[in-house]
Amino acid sequence: MPDAPPHKVVIIGSGPAGWTAAIYAARAQLNPVVFVGVATQSPSLVLPGGQLMLTTDVENYPGFPEAVSGPEMMAMFQKQAERFGTTVVGRDIVTCDFSTMPFTLHDSAGETVRANAVILASGATANWIGLENELRLAQSGGGVSACAVCDGALPIFKDQHLAVVGGGDSAMEEAVFLTKYASKVTVIHRRDRLRASKIMQQRFLSQPNADVMWNKVVVDVLGDEKITGLEVEDTTNGRRSTLEVRGLFVAIGHTPATGFLEGSGVELDDAGYVILGDRSSRTNIEGVFAAGDIADARYRQAVTAAGMGCQAAIDAEHWLAAHGSN
C-alpha cells in the first residue's frame, strides 16, 4: 500500500488559537487536522481546550453579552471548526521532524503523521503552587485563578479580600488590577523583598487597599465549594496562621507547552516561548507557524490567541499556495 498523502495543515493544540486557525483553514479548503491533546485530571498540565477549561465564567470575549463558561466556549469553537470539515484527533503530538518536507510528526499512539504545513498552538500552562485544594477549587470555579485580568472583575470577587501569590512584575500587575475591584489585596511573598521592578512595586504599594505578607508561603487553601481562607507558613520560623480571603490568584509564571519541539529546530526564547517573525505567525522554519500563548508571554488572552490563530491560518494558506501545496 502506498503511503497516504500528507495533510495540508496539521494544527497542534485546541485552545482559542488552535480552533480559530482550524476554522480559517477549513474555510480555505485546507482540510486541517487538529491534534487536541490528551485529557488529564491535573490543571498543571495542558488540557484539550487550553487554559479556558479552568475558567468558569468568560465575560471579556466579544460577542458574549452574558458570561459563558470556558469549556462551553471551547465546545462552540470546536463545533464551528468541525462544521467546515476539520478533522479532530484526540491525541498529543510528542515529537516533530521539520528537517525535510513534508514534515513528519509522531503522536502519542505511536503513529506517524505527515504534513505540508504545521501550526503550533499548544499554549502555555500557569504555574501552580501544587496544593490539592488549590487545583480542585481552580477546576470548580471556587475562587482560585491564575489570571486576574481574565477573572478579577467577576462578581464573586467584588469588594472581597483577595490574595495574590508571587513577587515579580506579573504578580504586581495582577495585584494592581485587582485593587480596582477588591476591598483589599494582599500579596503573599516567600521573601522579605519583592523581585518586581521598583516602578511596579510602587504602583501596587501606593494603592490604599494594598498589603503585603512577607516571608510567607501558602501551604493549604481552605474551603469546600468556595475558598474561605489560606493557611500560610512563615519561612523564617515555620509558624502557621490563617488568612481569611475570598479569592486566590496565583502569579508565579507560566510554562509554554513546547516540550514536544525539543530537537525540532524551532527557535525558542530563554523562557521556552516560540519566537515569531515581525508582525507574522512565521517561525524560523519555512512552513511552520505558531499562534496563541505558545508564542505570547505578554497578553495571554482568549481574544488575542484567537486573533493569532487567524493570522497563522492565513499565513499558512499563503505559504502553501506559494509552494503549490494547497
Q: What is the CATH number of the domain that holds 264?
A: 3.50.50.60
How much is the pLDDT for 43? 41
On average, the pLDDT of the chain sits at: 92
Query: Looking at the structure, do residues 237 and 292 belong to the same domain, yes or no?
Result: no
Could you tell me if 189 and 283 lie in one domain? no
Say if residue 183 is in the same domain as residue 234. Answer: yes
Task: Decide if 213 is inside a domain.
Answer: yes
Q: Do 211 and 107 belong together in one domain?
A: no
| pLDDT for 211 beyond 80 | yes
Instruction: State yes or no: pLDDT of 326 exceeds 70.
Output: no
Domain membership of residue 154 (yes or no) is yes
Calculate the CA dihedral of residues 53, 291, 304, 256 and round it to 10 degrees. 60
Q: Which of 250, 275, 295 is the last residue of a domain?
A: 250
- Give the separation between CA 188 and CA 105, rounded to whole angstroms: 43
In a domain, 1, yes or no: no
The last residue of one of the domains, among 250, 267, 296, is 250
Do 100 and 18 share a structural domain? Answer: yes
Rg of the Cα trace of the chain? 21
The residues that bridge with 231 in the sheet, in sequence order, are 220, 242
Catalogue the E-assigned strands of the chain.
Answer: 7-12, 33-35, 87-89, 93-97, 103-107, 112-120, 124-126, 144-145, 161-165, 184-188, 210-213, 216-222, 229-234, 240-244, 247-250, 254-256, 288-290
Question: Same domain, yes or no, for 173 and 119?
Answer: no
The per-residue pLDDT for range 24-34, each reduced to its tens digit, is: 999 999 999 99
259 and 215 within one domain: no
Q: Could you tell me where the DSSP H helices lie in the chain? A: 16-27, 70-83, 132-140, 148-151, 169-178, 198-205, 302-322
Q: What is the pLDDT of residues 182-202, one digit of tens each?
A: 999 999 999 999 999 999 999
User: How many independent structural domains does the chain possess?
Assistant: 2
Say whether pLDDT at 130 is over 60: yes
pLDDT at 150 over 90: no
Let me know if residue 110 belongs to a domain.
yes
pLDDT number for residue 41: 40
Is there a domain that residue 2 lies in? no
> Using an 8 Å Cβ cutoff, are 150 and 55 in contact?
yes
Q: How confident is the model at residue 52 (pLDDT cuts 50, 70, 90)?
A: confident
Residues 92 and 76 in one domain: yes
Boundary of a domain, candidates 205, 224, 250: 250
Asked if 317 and 32 touch (Cβ cutoff 8 Å), the reply is no
User: What's the pLDDT at 47?
Assistant: 62
Active-site entry in 92, 107, 151, 296: 151
Q: How far apart are CA 305 and CA 235, in angstroms?
A: 38
Predicted confidence (pLDDT) at residue 258 exceeds the cutoff of 50: yes
Lowest mean pLDDT among 39-43, 45-49, 280-284, 305-309: 39-43
Q: Are residues 286 and 244 in the same domain?
A: no
> Which set of grid coordinates corresponds to residue 147?
489570571
pTM of the model: 0.84
**Annotated active-site residue in 150, 296, 310, 315:** 150
Active site residue 97: no
* pLDDT of residue 39 exceeding 80: no
Greatest mean pLDDT among 35-39, 44-48, 306-310 lies in 306-310
Provide the pLDDT confidence category of residue 49 given band limits of 50, 70 and 90: confident
271 and 239 fall within a common domain? no
Q: Kindly name the residue from 107, 147, 310, 315 that is annotated as catalytic.
A: 147
Range 112-121 average pLDDT: 97
**Could you give phi then psi for residue 315, rounded to 5 degrees?**
-65, -40
Whether 280 is in a domain gets the answer yes
Q: Is 194 part of any domain?
A: yes
222 and 271, same domain (yes or no) = no
Residue 136's domain comprises 128-250
Please indicate whether residue 151 is annotated as part of the active site.
Answer: yes
Give backbone dihedrals phi and psi of 249, rounded to 5 degrees, phi first.
Answer: -120, 120
Instruction: Identify the pLDDT of residue 40.
Output: 52
Q: Does residue 243 lie in a domain region?
A: yes
Same domain for 115 and 190, yes or no, is no
What's the average model confidence in pLDDT over 242-253? 96
pLDDT digits (tens, 9 = 90+) for 272-325: 999 998 889 999 999 999 999 999 988 889 999 999 999 999 999 999 999 877
